[in-house]
Structure 1
Amino acid sequence: MKIATNNSNMSITIKCYPAKNGDCFLISFGENEEEKKHLLIDCGYVDTFQKYLNNDLIQIAKCGETLEKLILTHIDADHIQGTIRLLKDNNAERFITIKEVWHNTYRHLYEQKEGEIDIKQERMLQQIIRRGYTQNESKQGEKGISAEQGTTVGALLLQGKYSWNSDFDNQAVCIEKKSTVSLTSNASIYLLSPDKQKLEKLKNLWTDELKKYDFNFSSGNSQLYDDAFEMLLSWEKEKAKIAPKQISATAETLEELLKTPFHEDDTSTNGSSIAFVLQVQNKKMLFLADAHPSLIVHSLNEYQKEGTIVFDLIKVSHHGSFGNISRELLNKIDSESYLISTNGQKHGHPDKDTIAHIITRKADFHRKLYFNYITANSKYFDREDWKGKYNYSIHYLDQQPYTLIL
């Protein structure tokens, strides 16, 4: 699945892979074949990497090219399990060079203290690790990632000796630390999320979870902490989904959908998402990961104070969940092209309310909604009367590579 854009001397391609209810994007740009840059944002599940991404990375390496950045937006199984398989394979046989990794985990949130952990601490951490990651259900029988020490992203990054958050002095990727990172003379990333407050909530979640194990937490430098932290936090959204969904499941008209009360996502892992604007020459692309809209609006006001920012592409936050795309955010951003990544099978994304709010705003251009899967709610909006009235179209990036000129 490919989205491509061209101007007089710059080619930009964005591949949106089949990642079930997760995310995996490969962005490539350059003025010629010899100067191509590649960014990889998340890796979906294990079979996302094995069936699709792996071959593309091998081809990049065969061309003598590298991954400029591997950006892991947050700790969540649907974003990082494929990364674990990538790093395991790459550590065993370095088939591609990864120049820099962005990934926030335990070691970036706490001061590392010297000293050994006691037996009680070690047993408790091992208990968390044995639970492992949330498992993705798939028709292919995918079993996810094994529950054992040293299988986390953090552990594999250390084993492979990758450059890790060096753009941020090896500390947390955070807007207070740095807002703009240059990629080339005409390409840069403007960071929108997370901030220190969102990362502090992640720390508090970890501490609260440890209390359930009757453990009075104090930070340490053992890699056991890294492993347990990552595996435990991957379960946060699974617990959140047990609560009744706030979004209306029965609304049948756009008017009803537009009246749905907004309740912002409050999960700590989503709040810690790395979200950013990628600018390549005069093209601006917004990648929102699963970020909270209130912080995104605040950061975009720093990026451009006045008016609505029109992007060349918007990757909709959290697979189109209504809790991650407020009216305030939609008043600040717009685009001719919206990208929604999900198969809709696990949590019913994208929410109808989200799509309703996107398509009904007035604009002097035609909006295109891109989905990497056909879902019940994408089909719901594939109505000729609505598409004509609100000037939008629906497109599917399925099966074969799909090329779009933005």
Structure 2
Amino acid sequence: MITVEALPALAGDCLWVEWDDGDRRRRMLIDGGTVRAGSALAERFARQPVDARDFELVVCTHLDDDHIGGLLGLLASPPEGFSTQDVWFNGHHHLLPPDLLGMPRAEQLTALLTEAGTPWNTATGGRSLVVPADETAPLPVIELPGLTLTLLSPTRERLAALRDSWDAWKAEQRQRAGAQRPAPPDLLGPSQPVAEIDWHRLALDYTPDKAPGNGSSIAFCAEHTADGSRVLFTGDAHAEVLVAALRRLSPDGCYRADLCKVPHHGSAHNTSPELLDVLDCDQWLITTDGGPAVRGAEAEYRPGEGSHPSLRTMARLILGSRWPTLWFNHRVPSTERYDDGFLQHRLGFRARYPPRGAKGIELVVGPGTVSRAAPPR
């Protein structure tokens, strides 16, 4: 079995993953949330015995602050007993020339890994973790003790897009940091009650994500060697890249996943109807406190009133399979709207949240089963 603990990382991702390997317990960390949410990771380490803080892998999916921020604190001042066999992060010297990574946090992470001599992308011999552009080539497979990882994203084209549009993308980040922009009205929720929403119309209304930073996300499938349980870790990857990779894995049908971490915190532009068509999955983990990744001053940050998860994405998940289960790591207005018995019965889905008073949510994943673990102490 695989356990996936979605820490309370506010608007970001921070996933603490463990699995059994014979009589040993192995672990992996995927992203660290924002710098502001770094306390969640520190609190999780405080609950972890010092002699069980060794990791097979730490993954920084991409350079957005809501994924990279918390990892800076971890690597700058590692907790007692912390170690990792490898770090996955596509730094400036991995990308196609010319160099493009000028974002301060990405440069900080690069410096931390270099100065500490931390194992870095050793699974690919120090090269970037990219899915081959040649569709006839097999997807890269990395074997960890007790777990097999199959890389799905990014593609070389997505990394090249990040390089080619870096200046414009960096200017956009400065604009976001300097001004709080309201989310589109459909993402904040309509004025009418949720029971009156035309969910079928929303599900079909899709436009793809074009952000180069999201397109550079590392995404992969994790399969337990012993029992075959599968979890799809998507970062903020583009749906079109995931669809193409999953079709290569399962050309004759849908790819089975026992749990899927919904891409980009439930953004409207990263979970396409086509992605639902190529996935055989009815268990969905949504990691967000409702706020977008970047706001203005921290004092203006209001959880649950931002852009995630999108009603359009939720409509696709709810209508895309029979009685799907939606797992949330935060109970806030934008996620709690689905805690409506009438709506669940009418549309045929279940919504699950952290226990009252608990922080984050931990899921136990087996073949065809997902259950909530006991809340952390």
TM-score (structure 2 length as normaliser)? 0.80
Q: Is 1:37 aligned to residue 26 of structure 2?
A: yes
Q: Is 1:335 aligned to residue 272 of structure 2?
A: no
CA offset at residue 257 of structure 1?
A: 4.3
CA shift digits 1:144-182 (9 cap, x unpaired): xxxxxx971111111110111111121111012961111
Distance in 1, matches of 2:119 and 2:174, equals 28
> What's the counterpart of residue 271 of structure 2?
325
CA shift digits 1:361-398 (9 cap, x unpaired): 343xx321111112333233322223123332111125
> What's the counterpart of residue 358 of structure 1?
317
> What's the counterpart of residue 373 of structure 2?
none
CA contact (8 A) 1:75 1:234 kept: no
Q: Is 1:12 aligned to residue 27 of structure 2?
A: no
115, 134, 156: which is aligned to 1:159? 115
Secondary structure class of the residue paired with 1:344: coil
Distance in 2, matches of 1:392 and 1:242, equals 32
CA offset at residue 276 of structure 1?
A: 0.8
Distance 1:307 1:170, change over 3 A: same
Distance 1:394 1:201, change over 3 A: same
Distance in 1, matches of 2:242 and 2:362, equals 29
Distance 1:301 1:256, change over 3 A: closer
CA offset at residue 112 of structure 1?
A: 8.5
Aligned pairs, number: 336
CA contact (8 A) 1:247 1:322 kept: no
Q: Is 1:262 aligned to residue 200 of structure 2?
A: no
Structure 1 moving runs of 4+ over 3 Å: 55-61, 110-113, 236-252, 254-257, 401-405
Secondary structure class of the residue paired with 2:13: coil
CA offset at residue 98 of structure 1?
A: 1.4
> What's the counterpart of residue 66 of structure 2?
78
CA offset at residue 55 of structure 1?
A: 4.2
Distance 1:102 1:237, change over 3 A: farther
Distance 1:237 1:78, change over 3 A: farther
Q: Is 1:46 aligned to residue 35 of structure 2?
A: yes
Distance in 1, matches of 2:198 and 2:321, equals 14
CA contact (8 A) 1:76 1:234 kept: no
> What's the counterpart of residue 221 of structure 2?
277
Letter paired with 2:115: Q
Distance in 2, matches of 1:60 and 1:47, equals 21
Distance in 2, matches of 1:81 and 1:244, equals 22
- The structure that has the greater radius of gyration is 1
Distance in 2, matches of 1:403 and 1:84, equals 24
Letter paired with 2:4: I
Mind listing any 5+ residue stretches in structure 2 that lack a counterpart? 134-138, 293-305, 365-369, 371-377
Letter paired with 2:307: G
RMSD between aligned residues: 3.0
Sequence identity (%): 27
Distance 1:299 1:236, change over 3 A: farther
CA offset at residue 313 of structure 1?
A: 0.6
CA contact (8 A) 2:5 2:362 kept: no
Q: Is 1:69 aligned to residue 57 of structure 2?
A: yes
